[in-house]
Structure 1
Amino acid sequence: MTLSRTRLRVLVAALLSVSFLGALDHTVVSTSLATIAGQLGALEHMSWIMVGYTLAATVMLPVLGKLGDIVGPRLVFVVSLVTFLVASLVCGFAPDLGWLIAARVLQGLGSAGLQLMSQTIIARVTTARERPRYMAIIGAAFPIAIVVGPVVGGLITDYWSWPWVFWINIPVGVVALVLAVTAVPRLPGGAHPRFDVPGSLVFTASLLALILAVTWIGDDALRPAAIACAVGAGVGILALVAIERRAAAPILPPRILRDRTILVCLGLSLVVGAGLFSVVAYVPTYVQMAYRTSATVSGLVPIATVLGMLVSSLLTGWLVSRSGRYRLYPIAGTALAALGLVAMALLPAGIPLWVPMGVMAAVGIGTGAFTNLIFAVVQSAASRDDLGAVTATTNLVRQIGAAVGTAVVGGVIGFAVAAGLPAGMDAATLTPAAVRSMPEALQEQIALVYHDVFAPVFLGLAAVYACGVVIALLLPSGRLSDEMPAPAAPVAGRQPV
């Protein structure tokens, strides 16, 4: 469907607004966690405020992607936005942690639909050539939310009250809803109206079990539950294969996995998840301990990373939209990020903080060169009937990579630090503030332990990006088309949604 330039701009503004809401709601809550859990009297379960949101946003991706292909992305998008706003309202009024976690799960469901349908709608109303530029604009919501979210959350918690962390979504979301209803066209559903209910249920349960297994495996108390979840996920995957082989319209169509371009993009999405998210999650800890800085100063390094990513993503999107050529950017981007992480591993202890900031900015620039671009490329390789499914699968692979990568890196760091600390020192109770109160010699010893622990971690993450270079080299050469996506074959008795 071709839109006027004005309507397309309004549409992109609406999609960017709701994408930012979904991304911001994950980061803005982080600085309010302790306050929220303390006032609700459940500090020991506060992690579920974040985990519930993330799990729901992850496991629902394939289901919502398939629904978007069947009924049309507009309906799924509007329902997801309304769900997100209602859940935000309920979060602020939650009387206890159970209510809050349930509302956060509902928020996560809405957030998944917003992110996924924003990307799918852009794919339906633009040519493949235009798509990288608009994908980069919408994708800017994530790095901006990483930078802005914790600061906004802290200010709201300090000067208002924690319910406003959730209620601030309402006015922005209502404006975005009005824009969306006005600007999002009535895009028809696909040519396969059946929905794979058994496959959806088994897939969702298996993925949930897998994510819980990865999340819990590092906790001694939860390890038996993690093993049980891993076994359940394995059984579920085998059952899913049997179900999908017989399904008339499988939730993950096998045909999308037979295309080389799609497979390469899925591999690159896994690299982003396992590489970038692990870096952003643990670099602040490294800087606080190895450089003996405050939490505020340690945030400068991940900020440099995401700002580099933002600039690179926008520039790459613009360049690819001009030329249509895309193969060079994933190759150069993964190579630059790998070299940056090798440099991080080789940096000597005690070097000025601006040096790792510059190096991590280069890692961000390399990652940003293909983070959003791969969505435009993977959508150009899929049929219009599979746009939602292929976009959901690309997002899902990234989320799984992030979950597995952060869990593995966190486990390695925890074990290695505990083994390297001086005798009698408990790694579980060691905080940056406690370290800064210790004698200078002991501070230097602990800083060296963290430096030596993180060096092989950075090399391991560099190896992940090096695998990305190999994967990117397998990407077929091509040029994105200037033609609009071909409409799906009509289905008797179905009307556009």
Structure 2
Amino acid sequence: MSRLRTPSRDSIVPGFTQRRLMVVLGALILAVLLSSLETTIVVTALPTIAGEFNSFENFAWVGAAYLITATISTPLLGKLSDLYGRRLIFQSTMAVFLIGSLLCGLAQSMGQLIAFRAVQGVGGGAIQALAFAILGDILSPRQRGRYIGYFTIAFAASALAGPLVGGFIVDHWDWHWIFLSNVPLVAVAGTVTHFALRLPFHRKPASIDWWGIGLLSAGLALVLFGLEEGKHGWTDGKVLGMFAGGAALLVIFVLQERRAAEPMIPLRLFANRVVLASCMLGFIAGSISYGASNFLPLYFQDALFVRPTLSGLRMLPIMTGVVLTSFSAGRIIARTGRYKLFPVWGSVLMAVGLLLVAQIDGNTSYVYLVGPMFVLGLGSGAVYTTTSIATQNACELRDLGVATATMMFFRSLGGSIGTATYGTLLNSTIRSELPGRIGTSPDEAI
């Protein structure tokens, strides 16, 4: 008991006791778990929601709206946390996430739900990045590995468990509770961090890169909207226009960042090979894990005809793999200080697992998938944990927030692009295969 009241050996913040550290970390893990859960929890509920609102043509935007705004807000709020303090910005994002969750639970139409999911995503995306940045503020570099491993478990496992939780809620209660259940839990996490998370911060005068914020937000929005609309055809004029406009704005954004006094994303970060490699690996891992979280439950329900709750339970092999490598990698890194082998072997395992999963068809037994899904989870956990640690240890203290947020941004961007691309491939395959099998035209078959 006395050890809990003594200064923590794991923290670098003066006066942080072990008890206070545990309380703060518990609140941060809860916040990360809730925000990550929202990326996939609606997957198994979407058919029910679309049926209630009679809006099957727009239901994909319920998930896409959250991912798009979460991706855009991550680097912005990460940079603002460097300028105005981690605690203030983190509390603000929690408030936005809570309000968005409440509004989603009270939505009365598909349009309202999509709009409120976009609000929820602004807070949800930044919560994850800021929580990992706060770990860098309060923990010594050697101890970050162990604790980031725990947070990676919460981040990845909750995203993978989303279809299970969503299916259970839909099967036993009402889809509105998918969002309303967040409200009291977010309030608890916000209250705890308000009183316990007091970090030394000296605000420095700095200008905000408003042009960079606007250019990046608009450019990414156009690209992600184009990817989502691409499900109706890549050669559509509107889709091509979105891609062209988004690409042009992103090029102008890079030019703006080179001349800005306080750039939103300092380009010097990418001169660091460790940060650059972590961002690229995070992008790839995000596209794979988000794709698995969204489309494997769909395969289980539509091809193997299992209930929503059971489709979520069938994701357990991936979750087990993520938990195993995140926990063990974090502890090994904390003990040895070495992490280079983990992202290398993690990337290999992800590639092998994805290749094996790609061999499935409508007659594939679930037993065959258990091994490949477990391998895929092992690789994802190893990459997620080590890229977070490597980024924080490689950057300067002044860039800790924006560097962590940039790495998380690329992870979310990979998930957004991957999910939209996989959805387009699925739709095009259905349109090309289904008509021939039932003997009708594509328009009549879809």
TM range (shorter): 0.7 to 0.9
1:281 to 274, 294, 302: 294
1:348: how far off?
Answer: 10
Question: Could you tell me how far apart the structure 2 residues matched to 1:93 and 1:343 are?
Answer: 42
Contact 2:160–2:293 at 8 Å: present in 1 too?
A: no
Change (3 A) 1:311 1:425: farther
Question: Could you tell me how far apart the structure 2 residues matched to 1:32 and 1:409 are?
Answer: 19
Q: Deviations over 1:191-247 (max 9, x none)?
A: 562210111111111011111112212314993222111111122022213322221
1:369 to 371, 378, 382: 382
**Identity level (%):** 30
Quote the residue 1:5 is aligned against. Answer: 18
Change (3 A) 1:409 1:53: closer
Question: Could you tell me how far apart the structure 2 residues matched to 1:172 and 1:335 are?
Answer: 37
1:138: how far off?
Answer: 1.7
Change (3 A) 1:408 1:381: same
Task: State the aligned residue count.
Answer: 430
Letter in structure 2 aligned against 1:125: I
Q: Does 1:333 align with 2:346?
A: yes
Change (3 A) 1:96 1:187: farther
1:150 to 149, 158, 163: 163
Quote the residue 1:216 is aligned against. Answer: 229
Change (3 A) 1:338 1:147: closer
Moved more, 378-387 or 24-33: 24-33
Contact 1:83–1:106 at 8 Å: present in 2 too?
A: yes
SS of equivalent residue, structure 1 residue 60: helix
1:261 to 274, 279, 287: 274
Question: Could you tell me how far apart the structure 1 residues matched to 2:192 and 2:257 are?
Answer: 38
Question: Could you tell me how far apart the structure 1 residues matched to 2:158 and 2:229 are?
Answer: 27
1:360 to 352, 365, 373: 373
1:244 to 239, 254, 257: 257
1:189: how far off?
Answer: 5.4
Question: Could you tell me how far apart the structure 1 residues matched to 2:352 and 2:234 are?
Answer: 39
Quote the residue 2:182 is aligned against. Answer: 169
Question: Could you tell me how far apart the structure 1 residues matched to 2:313 and 2:113 are?
Answer: 31
Question: Could you tell me how far apart the structure 2 residues matched to 1:102 and 1:417 are?
Answer: 29
Contact 1:143–1:307 at 8 Å: present in 2 too?
A: no
Quote the residue 1:60 is aligned against. Answer: 73
Change (3 A) 1:210 1:281: same
Contact 1:300–1:357 at 8 Å: present in 2 too?
A: no
Contact 2:130–2:405 at 8 Å: present in 1 too?
A: no
Change (3 A) 1:151 1:300: closer
Moved more, 403-412 or 358-367: 403-412
Change (3 A) 1:90 1:374: same
Could you tell me which runs of 5 or more consecutive residues in structure 2 were left unpaired when the two chains were aligned. Answer: 1-11
Quote the residue 1:306 is aligned against. Answer: 319
Change (3 A) 1:430 1:328: farther
Contact 1:68–1:189 at 8 Å: present in 2 too?
A: no
Quote the residue 2:306 is aligned against. Answer: 294
- After superposition, where does 1:29-428 map in structure 2 within 5 Å? 29-188=42-201, 191=204, 193-220=206-233, 223-285=236-298, 292=304, 294=306, 299=312, 301-344=314-357, 352-416=365-429, 418-419=431-432, 422-425=436-439
Question: Could you tell me how far apart the structure 1 residues matched to 2:386 and 2:134 are?
Answer: 16
Question: Could you tell me how far apart the structure 1 residues matched to 2:362 and 2:230 are?
Answer: 32
SS of equivalent residue, structure 2 residue 261: coil
1:324: how far off?
Answer: 0.7
Contact 2:146–2:327 at 8 Å: present in 1 too?
A: yes
Change (3 A) 1:212 1:348: closer
SS of equivalent residue, structure 1 residue 326: coil
Letter in structure 1 aligned against 2:306: S
Question: Could you tell me how far apart the structure 1 residues matched to 2:161 and 2:178 are?
Answer: 13
1:86: how far off?
Answer: 2.0
Could you tell me which runs of 5 or more consecutive residues in structure 1 were left unpaired when the two chains were aligned. Answer: 432-497
Moved more, 345-354 or 160-169: 345-354
Change (3 A) 1:137 1:192: farther
Letter in structure 1 aligned against 2:253: L
Question: Could you tell me how far apart the structure 2 residues matched to 1:413 and 1:97 are?
Answer: 23
Question: Could you tell me how far apart the structure 2 residues matched to 1:39 and 1:187 are?
Answer: 50
Change (3 A) 1:17 1:298: closer
TM-score normalised by L of structure 1 = 0.79
Question: Could you tell me how far apart the structure 2 residues matched to 1:153 and 1:351 are?
Answer: 25
TM-score normalised by L of structure 2 = 0.87
Letter in structure 2 aligned against 1:259: N
Note the aligned Cα RMSD (angstroms). Answer: 2.8
Contact 1:191–1:385 at 8 Å: present in 2 too?
A: no
1:79: how far off?
Answer: 0.9
Question: Could you tell me how far apart the structure 2 residues matched to 1:349 and 1:149 are?
Answer: 24
Contact 1:58–1:112 at 8 Å: present in 2 too?
A: yes
Contact 1:61–1:116 at 8 Å: present in 2 too?
A: yes
Question: Could you tell me how far apart the structure 2 residues matched to 1:91 and 1:408 are?
Answer: 26
Contact 2:78–2:129 at 8 Å: present in 1 too?
A: yes
